[in-house]
């Protein structure tokens, strides 16, 4: 097998069969360099030379950060976007090669001793600078002369020997002259105000100590080209500027969900790709219609306060069916007053009917729904078009009958919790063709179904739930074990049953190995394989850690 250096050399030759290209590789003889002349570095340099120009730019930009810096893939890609490098190579061994090739454009100032008060020299050709917050004043003289600076990273905490007010003023004066700045990462206490940085694309603000309540400066709202805003905050409450909706180019917003929920007219941010949580308010500035044109939202979206939505027509304004990039949808209702519930008995069902997601959705969570039946899009032909892999229903207090979840072709996880009106899980859950129901189901959980009395399982001659691996039944005090339950249990590697007094030892076949304690009023653990027993805590952790 060829060593990495030989493989790199071969790839370099294969990239272009032109004779001049091969002669150039031969003349450099980089593949022959030994450890004394760089070794691995020479090989990496040769690899770098085969990259397209835009990928080289991305690679070299990483030299701005110190050796050992932990890059998050998403963040570094956003930095590349801000700098105008549209494509990136992903996670690679950036640091040594990037430092070796940066040629002075990327300048990192190592933290100085508090006793070292000498000037800091920064080359005039520097375009990207990284320094400690306490070195800002000493570096300000040279920084002020660099009018084409593209990236400024100010890190660390203010030491006892530095004056916060002086640092704030120094940074403000520097930023006024940085007309070409595209990337700014800085500690929050230094940003009491921001000058107009019309080219700024990326702003990251760190707060490394708990400063209590905090707010973003209103001047941020004038950064009309801003694509990424990351605000890491350790305090009690973060308030957002009143005119935040003006950031029409914003694509990525990373901050506390509570802060995002305070943004009025967030629907104007039509380029936004991540919001995580949206809470419906009591006026149009926070209405569910704000989601109408936010079709770039992706990943996870939690919609809270659905009790504020009055019917299907209003729910349809969210246009969830057009949001093809959402993978996880979490729909939540709060408990409302008795008077409101009685006057709007049909509203929850109508609202859920109007929140039909795009068929690409992978995970659906419904919490606090008080309607008496499921939506039509979870039944029949519409349901079969869904790509759902995980469904979690919690505190759906009025739900009496379950839809035919068994017809969902890709469903792997089904969790049912705290559904007090559910008394029977009948054969309809499997769909019209019972043997073919739940073809992909791996995990099944019943928790706190205190009024559930019956769970239909067909007889042993029908092969049911062929891929089931985990079954958890807890706090289902009225549930009687189906006659076919022992045949279902005997091939499962993970079973946990607790506080289910009506599922007793009569349902366990003699051939099964029973874990301790022996079944009495509650079954702590049933081990259906002599070599494996899933403990309660670890089983819960397994469910919690699983993402789909």
Average pLDDT rounded to a whole number, residues 494-508: 78
> What is the token pair recorded at 395?
């505190």
- Quote the radius of gyration of the chain (alpha carbons, Å): 30
For residue 75, pLDDT over 60 is answered with yes
Q: Angle of helix 164-177 relative to helix 136-143, nearest 10 degrees?
A: 20
pLDDT at 196: 86
CA separation for the pair 240, 262 (Å, rounded): 7
> What is the token pair recorded at 23?
């002669």
CA separation for the pair 221, 223 (Å, rounded): 6
- Of 282, 351, 267, 349, the closest CA to residue 313 belongs to 351
Contact 388, 364 (CB under 8 A): yes
The top-scoring range by mean pLDDT among 188-202, 215-229, 492-506, 522-536 is: 215-229
CA separation for the pair 23, 367 (Å, rounded): 67
For residue 516, pLDDT over 70 is answered with no
> What is the token pair recorded at 404?
């035919």
User: 395 by DSSP, 3-state: which?
Assistant: coil
Average pLDDT rounded to a whole number, residues 520-536: 34
- Of 285, 286, 290, 284, the closest CA to residue 267 belongs to 290
Q: Which helix (H) or strand (E) holds 20?
A: helix 19-28
pLDDT at 382: 83
Minimum mean pLDDT range among 75-84, 256-265, 365-374, 384-393 = 75-84
More confident residue, 496 or 339: 496
Give the strand pairing for 299-304 and 326-332. parallel
CA-CA distances (angstroms) from residue 350 to 40, 314, 378, 546?
64, 10, 14, 31
What integer best gives the mean pLDDT of the chain? 77
**Sheet containing 202-206, strands listed edge to edge, beginning at the edge strand earlier in sequence:** 106-108, 128-132, 151-155, 183-187, 202-206, 228-232, 252-254
- What does the buried/exposed string (b/e) look like for 503-542 if buried means 16 or more CB atoms within 10 Å of the residue's CB? beeebbeeebeebeeebeeebbbbbbeeeebbeeeebbee
Contact 355, 311 (CB under 8 A): no
Indicate the pLDDT class of residue 54, thresholds 50, 70 and 90: low
Indicate the pLDDT class of residue 322, thresholds 50, 70 and 90: very high
Indicate the pLDDT class of residue 509, thresholds 50, 70 and 90: very low
For residue 111, pLDDT over 50 is answered with yes
pLDDT at 266: 95
- Of 206, 212, 201, the closest CA to residue 186 belongs to 206
Whole-prediction pTM: 0.74
| pLDDT tens per residue across span 169-189 | 888 889 999 999 999 998 766
Contact 421, 397 (CB under 8 A): yes
| pLDDT tens per residue across span 326-352 | 999 999 998 765 554 454 556 899 999
| pLDDT tens per residue across span 263-308 | 999 999 999 998 889 999 988 999 999 999 999 999 999 999 999 9
**What residue ranges define each of the domains in the chain, with the CATH number in brackets?**
54-89+96-110+123-268 (3.80.10), 275-336 (no CATH), 362-532 (3.80.10)
| pLDDT tens per residue across span 297-315 | 999 999 999 999 989 999 9
**% pLDDT > 70, the chain:** 70
pLDDT at 302: 96
For residue 71, pLDDT over 70 is answered with no
Average pLDDT rounded to a whole number, residues 480-507: 81
pLDDT at 537: 37
CA separation for the pair 513, 530 (Å, rounded): 6
Indicate the pLDDT class of residue 226, thresholds 50, 70 and 90: very high
**% pLDDT > 90, the chain:** 36
Average pLDDT rounded to a whole number, residues 149-158: 87
**Cis link prior to 517 (omega < 30° from 0)?**
yes
CA separation for the pair 316, 338 (Å, rounded): 26
CA separation for the pair 219, 368 (Å, rounded): 39
For residue 141, pLDDT over 80 is answered with yes
CA separation for the pair 256, 233 (Å, rounded): 8
For residue 483, pLDDT over 90 is answered with no
């Amino acid at each position: 097998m060829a060593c990495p250096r030989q493989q790199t050399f071969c790839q370099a030759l294969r990239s272009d069969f032109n004779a001049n290209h091969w002669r150039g590789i031969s003349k450099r003889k980089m593949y022959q360099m030994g450890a004394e002349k760089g070794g691995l570095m020479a090989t990496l340099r040769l690899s770098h030379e085969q990259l397209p120009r835009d990928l080289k730019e991305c690679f070299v930009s990483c030299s701005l950060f110190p050796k050992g810096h932990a890059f998050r893939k998403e963040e570094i890609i956003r930095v590349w976007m801000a700098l105008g490098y549209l494509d990136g190579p992903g996670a690679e061994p950036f640091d040594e090669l990037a430092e070796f090739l940066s040629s002075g454009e990327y300048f990192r100032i190592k933290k100085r001793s508090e006793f070292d008060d000498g000037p800091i020299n920064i080359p005039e050709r520097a375009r990207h600078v990284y320094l400690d917050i306490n070195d800002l004043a000493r570096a300000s003289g040279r920084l002020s002369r660099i009018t084409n600076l593209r990236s400024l990273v100010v890190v660390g905490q203010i030491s006892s020997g530095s004056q916060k007010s002086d640092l704030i003023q120094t940074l403000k004066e520097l930023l006024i002259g940085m007309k070409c700045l595209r990337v700014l990462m800085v500690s929050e206490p230094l940003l009491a105000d921001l000058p107009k940085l019309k080219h700024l694309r990326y702003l990251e603000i760190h707060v490394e100590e708990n400063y209590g309540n905090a707010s973003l400066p209103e001047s941020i709202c004038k950064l009309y080209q801003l694509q990424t805003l990351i605000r890491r905050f350790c305090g009690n409450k973060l308030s957002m500027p009143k005119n935040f909706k003006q950031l029409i180019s914003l694509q990525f917003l990373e901050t506390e969900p509570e802060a995002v929920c305070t943004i009025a007219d967030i629907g104007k941010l039509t380029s936004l790709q991540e919001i995580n949580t949206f809470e419906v308010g009591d006026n149009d500035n926070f209405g569910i219609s704000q989601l109408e044109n936010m079709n770039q939202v992706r990943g996870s979206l939690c919609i809270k306060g659905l009790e504020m939505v009055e019917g299907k027509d209003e729910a349809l304004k969210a246009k969830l069916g057009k949001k093809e990039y959402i993978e996880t949808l979490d729909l939540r209702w709060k408990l409302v007053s008795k008077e409101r519930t009685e006057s709007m008995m049909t509203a929850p069902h109508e609202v859920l009917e109007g929140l039909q997601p795009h068929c690409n959705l992978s995970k659906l969570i419904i919490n606090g729904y008080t309607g008496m039946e499921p939506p039509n899009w979870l039944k029949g032909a519409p349901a079969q078009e869904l790509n759902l892999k995980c469904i979690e229903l919690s505190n759906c207090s009025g739900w009496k009958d379950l839809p035919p979840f068994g017809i969902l072709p890709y469903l792997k996880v089904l969790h049912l919790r705290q559904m007090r009106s559910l008394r029977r899980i009948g054969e309809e859950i499997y769909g019209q063709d019972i043997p073919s129901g739940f073809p992909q189901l791996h995990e099944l959980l019943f928790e706190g179904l205190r009024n559930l009395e019956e769970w239909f399982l067909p007889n042993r001659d029908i092969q049911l739930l062929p891929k089931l691996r985990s079954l958890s039944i807890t706090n289902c005090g009225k549930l009687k074990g189906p006659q076919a339950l022992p045949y279902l249990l005997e091939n499962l590697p993970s079973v946990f049953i607790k506080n289910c007094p009506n599922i007793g030892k009569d349902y366990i076949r003699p051939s099964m190995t029973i874990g301790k304690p022996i079944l009495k009023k509650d079954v702590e653990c049933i081990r259906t394989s002599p070599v494996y027993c899933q403990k309660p805590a670890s089983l819960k952790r397994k469910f919690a850690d699983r993402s789909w």
